Structure 1
Amino acid sequence: MAQAPDVGDQIAQLNAARSLVLGDAAFYPQIVNGILPIVGASTRLELRRWGANFLAETFASPVLGVEQKEQLAPNVLQTIREILRLPETDITVLQSLVQASASLYPLVFRHIVNHPQDSTTWENMCEIKQEILKKMDDYPCSVKLCCAKFLQRVVQVQTHSSGGDPRRPELNETSLAVVPRNHSLLSIPNLEAESSGLLDRLLGVFQEETSDALLVNATINLLPPLIRTRPTIAHKIVNAILDFIPAHHVRPPFTPTVRVSVKSMERTARALLWNILKKNQNHPLAPRMQAYIERLSQSRLEAAEDPTRKRGLPNEPTDGLDGAKRARLNAMPPPMMKIPPMAPGPATYDSLFTLTEDAGLSSFDVKQLPFDIVLKIVVPLLSQVHDSTMAQAVEAVRTRYQTITREQTLQRQQQQQSAGQDDDDDYEPEYQPMDAASIASEENTAVAEDLADLQPSLGPFVLPKPPPLSEEEAGELGRAAAARVFGMLTAAEASAGPARGQAQQKLGFARLAGSASDRDAWSILLIRLATRAPAGLEPPPNADSTVRRQPTIADSIRETLYRYVLEDFRGRLNIAIMWLNEEWYNDRIQMKSAAARRNPSDEESEPTVVIHYDTWVNRLLDGFLAYLDGRDIKVLVRFLSEIPEITIPITQRVASLAKDPERVNLCVQSLMYLIMYRIPAREMCLNTIEDVYQTYEESRPAAAKVLKKWRPDSTVLEKTEEPEASAAPAQPEAQPAVAAEQ
């Protein structure tokens, strides 16, 4: 009785030590070496249980370094060996010791590789391994799961790894690849033979007549590291799984628990094979794995089917039965509804649709109920109404309506006949033929009168008009719509293009904006929204500048297009060209319309039109010219050749490229292309070439070639050649002096 408090105090102290190492991993060596005498084989069960759990936690902790674990491993082996030699029956102690041994085996193996003289440590590890393998079959299932992990770790260590650097063995994975050929304690052939036998023992769970689902699932989950890192044994493992049919390894009675166990084993095996195929679709065993997966998916547990099970109920409909089957199945046809006659008096919608004789239901005003409550009542009722009952009710309402219409038509004809007989002697109208339109209008009038006779009990329902939008709200909604269209543009750009060999039709400038769902279609739609839609609605440029103008939808679309093009100007150059062509075309149309509206008597007044082309072409050039290099000659030439108009600001921006000596050729070649192929801009570009020639000395060799060909009489060339010609004769006079000095 006096020892119980002592054990409690010792466990409290051990828990305090555990809290200390969890806070600072540097105390692990001191604490581990200090608790070994306290938790040894000769101590109480509570202390052994705590010590085994602490050792398993220590060598599995990711906080403690591998080098520190390798130094601590030889110290704890003797304690684990002594405890395993005891006739221990406590499951917690056995689980923790086997888990600790699984974590220790790679550490001890690498320690022996680096210290071949430490034979005592290797003997202790081998003794622990033999104890676990000897008693493994006698352990309960929970301990067998830990033993399977120990076997997996031993097989992984005692086989060759898939790769590694032989020059840096300390960085390689622990395997036979790090063992020297002439090692005094480790014999590679013996270790390989032992690992092969242990692998067969690990895979033996798939050949047993009766399989435990927990052990099978745990073993399957332990195999992926071996398949991934040990190619020498991967095929053997996969073949063992492919030969395993879970439904064949169970015995009757086939209870629901057994069925769930079989399904769990099938699902685990199928998941493992799926992962193998996902990582290596060209696996040599891929056809067998796919066939195995399909077999498991289609499996219905043929071995687990009970032959004495009764047949299920016949798959017969519960209503609407055929007349030939009613007598055999004793099924009655749906009951017929009793349709009462319409109430006397004028025909109304209420009387037309009232199919019950209950006075309370007929007089109830449904308008008193809220609309949401009516929905909650009507929808479930309609879902439970029989099809035959609904058809009978609809037919009854149709018959009533036809009867009312027929009676009203007959009354109207009798009234017309009686009125014609009274006036026949006094008045004889002249014959006037009636056209088809008047006949149709009379028929429509008659139908309207028939419907008017049905006095409605419910008033007409009119949707309320939406509140008017302010200018700011309308602009915000417009910008949001444009942003959604830009989202469609981005999605269309991200989608795959046309397949190779398929010709893509180019619809040209006159294409429809919505002719396709590709990037160009959404681009032209946005461009025309920004250019053509607001045409004629913008304020004149000479408007009052004191009034701050709100940004319009067109301006926001243009700004978004500008940013979109500059994000990838090389890949979206065609969108920029389409945009500028539309802007130029819109500007010309607006100028033409303004000139037509101008008063001929007022000769001094000029048409005022907002010009967008010059603004945005200059902004685009300023945006991407800074990012061009000498290899982008095709990008710049294409842009300058396909925009609709070349202006002086454009040529000046191109000339600014000559500031960089590496982009001089880009500047001169682009201007030379315009000189050759854009005749209206030739003189403008030649003037720009002369300015470049005079301003930047690095451009003179390339610019001089262009000027000599297209403007040979340029005064710029004469001025620069005269100083060179005057300085040329000075060189021969200096030669004799140099010769005399020599």
Structure 2
Amino acid sequence: MAQPTGDVAHQIAQLNAARNLVLGDAAFYPQIINGILPIVGPNAKLEVRRWGADFLAETFASPQLATAQKEQLAQNVLQSIQETMLLPETDAAVLQSLVQTAASLYPLIFRHIVNHPEDSQSWEKMNTIKQDILRRMDSFPCPVKICCVKFLQRVVQVQTPGLIADPRRPDQNETSLAIVPRNHAVLTIPHLEAEASGLLDRLLGVFQEETSDVLLVNATLNCLAPLIRTRQSIANKIINNVLDFYPAKHVRPPFTPAVRVGVKSMERTARALLIHILKKNPSHPLLGKIQVYIERLMQSRLEVVDDASRKRTLPVEPTDGLDNAKRARLDALTPPVLQIPPMLPGPAAYDKLFTLTQDHGLSSFDVKQLPPDLVVKIAVPLLAQVNPLMLTQAVDAIRNRYQAVTKEQNLARQQMQQTAAAADDDDDYEPEYQPMDVAENTAEEASAVVPEVPEFQPELVSLGPFVLPQPPPLSEEEAGEVGRSAVARVFSMINVAETDSPAKNKNQQQLGFARLAGSNFDRDAWVLLLTRLATRAPAGLEGGDKLGKKGSDRRQPTISDSIRETLFQYILEDFRGRLNIGITWLNEEWYNDRIQMKVAASKRSDEEESESTVVCHYDTWVMRLLEGILLYLDSRDIKVIVRFLSEIPEVTVNITQKVATLAKDPERVNLCVQALMYLIMFRPPAREMCLNTLEDIYQTYEDSRPAAGKILAKWRPQQTQPTEAVTNGASDAAQPAAQPAAQ
């Protein structure tokens, strides 16, 4: 049973909404494709099948969808295309889109079979679709034939050997017969190559026909350029077939203007193809033949123009077929002239504008009294018998009336504006005070002075101010959820924003610490905006809830905490490339902590209040970030750890002890010692704590003594002597015991 028209329209609207979704974000393509395949299959309504075929052709031709995803989706789409092609489908739009989809799927299925020979069912389905298209190609209408030409070009291009750019990376090479192994279980190279040769002859057969279709010839010429550029083995064969084709010889008389336009179109397309070949390869072996062919095409074009110039032009005829002199000689009927009466006096209205009769009874008749079905029965036969000339005269008369009325209204409006402006510019001073007893008379005089406003203008209705109702208050959970979603959207902007190029950064002026967060709309600006939202925005609010008061053992998570956690995860995803973001964030945290402690100290000194608690975030997050980075460091990341330790605003004992944990790994002990040595040399405030940490490492881990001993010998020589003495004594005691054993 057929679906109702309303249901089909509703279904098409939903499918269009799905298409708009994937056009905005290509990540939804797999979900949408798998969801609509059962809906747009062979059992669907014609309108739905048209939409589905068009959407599939658009999907597999889209550059937004990755090739790997297309290859995965192609296996699911093959079954639907095969079932639809097996139907006695006659709709040209559906067939056109299905053939386009098959042309896009063929290279994908071919590469999939090369890499997965066990999936022979997909190749059998693709072969079934290919054979069906080739068998029915000659019976298809012209728009579908043009799509079949593109399908033939794809099959020939895939089944012909191409160049291998990099044998070590077969996934990056072009899909061609060259990527098929010799002993492939499904694909046989000689059979595929022979089939491609036959299909190429069928594609070029349009140039040998006695009568050529202009659209097919142009489509074939446009499809040959990729084959000539990428397949050198068949390029000369294609060029020779094009050189043997002369459009003027493949048309039959009479040479109507449409035939001449078609010949000119084929000549221009062939000339453009050959000129493109010469531009790509100026030293082509067939250069001489191509130049001779182009000159011959130009000469034939000049001959056509010359023949056209010799012919006399068409005689000038009147637009209605007869002029006045011919009417008099041929006794032709003169077209009736419609008598247009002037527009009825009074205010302009639509009924007066469209009244063209002088019969008062007819013009005063109310058509609304008649039922609509009767009006339709009367109007349709009358419209069929209307004289076109009289209808044109009536339309022109109504247009002239409308323009005249509009012009009069504009003039009246301008006069009113000029009168009001002249009254405002009056130099005589008139007091605005009006006694209460003469208000009615003044109103009557004003109504008598004000000029009449035409009645056709609508009265202005003054409306009161519209106020939207106040939204309901948000709870703490809802406000937190809204804040977290806003943070997620800002982080999505960070991922899409492009980082400035190094050349641009070199010429751009570096902004200072007090720069605006949104001065540039790049990734760094978004990151700075987020860090200041997490640090400066809640400043002074976190300590206001009196964390130490009774009943509040744990502080509620805030939006700033969610921003910090998201920043932490974002930096750890690629800490080598995003280390500058982490340093910027920690500097903002340290600066905010110091400002808050300063404000709290001034309050305690000025006011005698209970001691306010300042929440410090720097120590917590610098340790978490350092722990996350140290897990993934190797012995070559000396620049990463040194830059991190040198650019954070403050180095504490906990930080140096955390760096010392690197010495547990023998491969990273030198990394630990070098990082501490840099801090000892270039951060004097942290020198003593770093030396203490290095001394503990020297005493605890033997692998660190060669590198750490050199540093301690310079900065604390007294700490290395006892250990060296113990080591030397142990070696001396071991020598006498070893000598008898050696003897």
- Aligned counterpart, 2:540: 536
**In the alignment, does 2:705 pair up with 1:700?**
yes
- Letter in structure 2 aligned against 1:459: L
**In the alignment, does 2:575 pair up with 1:569?**
yes
> Residues 598-613 of structure 1: matches in 2 within 5 Å?
598-599=604-605, 606-613=611-618
- Letter in structure 1 aligned against 2:510: K
> Residues 242-641 of structure 1: matches in 2 within 5 Å?
244=245, 246=247, 249-253=250-254, 392-400=408-416, 403=419, 457-472=461-476, 473-493=478-498, 497-499=501-503, 503-538=507-542, 539-544=545-550, 546=552, 550-599=556-605, 606-641=611-646
Separation of aligned partners in 2, 1:384 and 1:505:
65
Separation of aligned partners in 2, 1:384 and 1:526:
64
Identity of aligned residues (%): 55
Q: Shift in Å at residue 339 of structure 1?
A: 9.6
* C-alpha spacing 1:217/1:228, structure 2 compared with 1 (3 Å): same
Separation of aligned partners in 2, 1:474 and 1:412:
62
- Aligned counterpart, 1:737: 740
Question: 1:710 pairs with 679, 693, 715, which one?
Answer: 715
Structure 1 unaligned blocks of 5 or more: 1-61, 67-95, 104-139, 179-190, 315-334, 341-354, 360-382, 420-449
Separation of aligned partners in 2, 1:411 and 1:222:
81
Q: Shift in Å at residue 697 of structure 1?
A: 2.3
The alignment partner of 1:534 has SS state of coil
- Letter in structure 1 aligned against 2:581: I
- Aligned counterpart, 1:16: none
State which drifts further: 650-659 or 692-701. 692-701
Q: Shift in Å at residue 397 of structure 1?
A: 3.2
Contact 2:590 2:649 in 1 (8 A): yes
State which drifts further: 200-209 or 697-706. 200-209
- Letter in structure 1 aligned against 2:730: A
- Aligned counterpart, 2:374: none
Q: Shift in Å at residue 531 of structure 1?
A: 1.1
Q: Shift in Å at residue 527 of structure 1?
A: 1.2
Contact 1:595 1:607 in 2 (8 A): no
Q: Shift in Å at residue 270 of structure 1?
A: 11
Contact 1:160 1:176 in 2 (8 A): no
Please give the per-residue CA displacement for 1:689-709, whole angstroms capped at 9, x wherever unaligned: 122223322222222222221
Contact 2:546 2:612 in 1 (8 A): no
CA RMSD of aligned residues (A): 6.2
Please give the per-residue CA displacement for 1:495-514, whole angstroms capped at 9, x wherever unaligned: 66254795233213222212
* C-alpha spacing 1:510/1:392, structure 2 compared with 1 (3 Å): farther
Contact 2:547 2:553 in 1 (8 A): no
Contact 1:531 1:582 in 2 (8 A): yes
Q: Shift in Å at residue 204 of structure 1?
A: 7.0
Q: Shift in Å at residue 244 of structure 1?
A: 4.9
Please give the per-residue CA displacement for 1:689-731, whole angstroms capped at 9, x wherever unaligned: 12222332222222222222111222xx355334323323334
The alignment partner of 2:565 has SS state of helix
- Aligned counterpart, 2:648: 643
Separation of aligned partners in 1, 2:139 and 2:607:
109
* C-alpha spacing 1:226/1:385, structure 2 compared with 1 (3 Å): same
Separation of aligned partners in 2, 1:588 and 1:239:
82
Contact 1:581 1:644 in 2 (8 A): yes
Separation of aligned partners in 2, 1:482 and 1:271:
54
TM-score by length of 1: 0.51
Separation of aligned partners in 2, 1:599 and 1:496:
48
The alignment partner of 1:525 has SS state of helix
* C-alpha spacing 1:502/1:694, structure 2 compared with 1 (3 Å): closer
* C-alpha spacing 1:236/1:702, structure 2 compared with 1 (3 Å): same
* C-alpha spacing 1:568/1:255, structure 2 compared with 1 (3 Å): farther
Contact 1:523 1:575 in 2 (8 A): yes
Separation of aligned partners in 1, 2:524 and 2:510:
10
Separation of aligned partners in 2, 1:310 and 1:535:
89
Separation of aligned partners in 1, 2:639 and 2:344:
84
- Aligned counterpart, 2:727: 724
* C-alpha spacing 1:584/1:501, structure 2 compared with 1 (3 Å): closer
Separation of aligned partners in 1, 2:344 and 2:715:
101
Separation of aligned partners in 1, 2:735 and 2:560:
70
Separation of aligned partners in 2, 1:528 and 1:684:
31
Contact 2:343 2:401 in 1 (8 A): no
Separation of aligned partners in 2, 1:411 and 1:530:
63
* C-alpha spacing 1:220/1:608, structure 2 compared with 1 (3 Å): same
* C-alpha spacing 1:260/1:550, structure 2 compared with 1 (3 Å): farther
Question: 1:655 pairs with 656, 660, 677, which one?
Answer: 660
- Aligned counterpart, 1:57: none
Separation of aligned partners in 2, 1:418 and 1:205:
95
> Residues 144-155 of structure 1: matches in 2 within 5 Å?
none
Contact 1:591 1:609 in 2 (8 A): yes
Q: Shift in Å at residue 210 of structure 1?
A: 3.7
* C-alpha spacing 1:618/1:393, structure 2 compared with 1 (3 Å): farther
Q: How many residues are paired up?
A: 483
State which drifts further: 642-651 or 254-263. 254-263
Contact 1:250 1:258 in 2 (8 A): yes
Separation of aligned partners in 2, 1:337 and 1:676:
103
Structure 2 unaligned blocks of 5 or more: 1-109, 115-127, 165-176, 320-341, 353-398, 436-449, 451-458
* C-alpha spacing 1:567/1:408, structure 2 compared with 1 (3 Å): closer
Separation of aligned partners in 2, 1:579 and 1:385:
73
Q: Shift in Å at residue 461 of structure 1?
A: 2.8
- Letter in structure 2 aligned against 1:206: F
Contact 1:674 1:685 in 2 (8 A): yes
TM-score by length of 2: 0.51
Please give the per-residue CA displacement for 1:270-303, whole angstroms capped at 9, x wherever unaligned: 99999x99xx9779779999x99xx99xx9xx89
* C-alpha spacing 1:655/1:160, structure 2 compared with 1 (3 Å): closer
The alignment partner of 1:703 has SS state of helix
Q: Shift in Å at residue 579 of structure 1?
A: 0.7
* C-alpha spacing 1:608/1:226, structure 2 compared with 1 (3 Å): closer
